[in-house]
Structure formats: C-alpha cells, structure tokens
Amino acid sequence: MFVVETSVDVGRPIEEVFALVSDPRNDIRWWRGVREVKLLGGDGGVGTEYEQRGRLLGLPFYNRFTVDEHQPPRRIVLRTTKSLTPFTAVYEFTPSGSGGTRFAMRAEVAGAGHFKFFGPLFRPLLKAVARYYFGQLPKVF
C-alpha cells in the first residue's frame, strides 16, 4: 500500500468544484482514463455506490466503490469495495484566493492483478497520472 497526494487550484467557488468532483459520474469530464461511471444506488451521500470502468496506464480497470463520508462542500471519502487498485480517497476542498478553491486528494492505494505486476513502477506512474489529470480539472469549468 502507498499514498498518492495531489492538489489543484480551481478559479471557481467551492460549491461548484465540490458539486462537480463529488459526483464520480463527472470523472469522465476530467480524468481521461475513466470511460464509464454508473450510479448503482443512493443519492450521492454516505452509502452511495458507483461502478467505474476505464483504462489506467493502457490497461483496463474496474472499480466498485462507496461514499464513506460526505460533508458538502468540504470533504468526501470514497472507498473501493471491488477493484484491481483498491483505494480509499479523501477529497478535501478549501477556499483559495479570489473566490477560488483548492481541491486536494490523499489516496491510499494498493495494486493487485496486472497493476501489482508493475511493482515499484506503479507508485510513481500513478502519482504522475494523478498530477496530470488534476491539472486538467480547471479546464472543465
């Protein structure tokens, strides 16, 4: 298991950034590897379940995860229940200068299946991918 941390400043109000990011169905708008996200049950709050499919480092992935914590517009915690890359991700949102928002992620990740094969390369590659896609988020607004 390892930790991936990254953050980005978005020139939009905290409520707007939280609304977009806290609904994983919007991931396809800013995280290019995500191809599909389905809501399996719930209203977006604690206990809501999602299914996500896509590609990571050119390899297919599948995640099923739940919302473990939901505190609009400040924090959301997502935890996988089925995945080749099991994770718990904490998203935190804080106001930044001129009405913008700092969006930060701290994820504890474990590699399994073909992602475990990458071994020591998986961690720095995943960190680089996360930084890149977080950098894409401001372009969505």
Global pTM value: 0.88
Residue in the block written with tokens 């961690």: 123
- Res 114 pLDDT > 70: no
Per-residue pLDDT, averaged over 40-64, amounts to 92
Residue 121 has pLDDT above 60, yes or no: yes
State residue 27 phi and psi, 5-degree precision: -55, -35
CATH superfamily of 2-140: START domain (3.30.530.20)
Q: Could you read off the pLDDT of 14-33 as tens digits, one per residue?
A: 999 999 999 999 999 998 88
- The H or E element containing residue 76 is strand 75-83
Q: List residues bridging with 93 in a β-sheet.
A: 103
Q: How confident is the model at residue 7 (pLDDT cuts 50, 70, 90)?
A: very high
Confidence of residue 84 (pLDDT cuts 50, 70, 90): confident
* Cα dihedral: 15, 8, 139, 94 (round 10): 10
Considering only CA atoms, which of 141, 132, 140 is closest in space to residue 4? 132
Buried b / exposed e over 61-76, threshold 16 CB at 10 Å, is: bebebbbeebeebeeb
pLDDT surpassing 80 at residue 9: yes
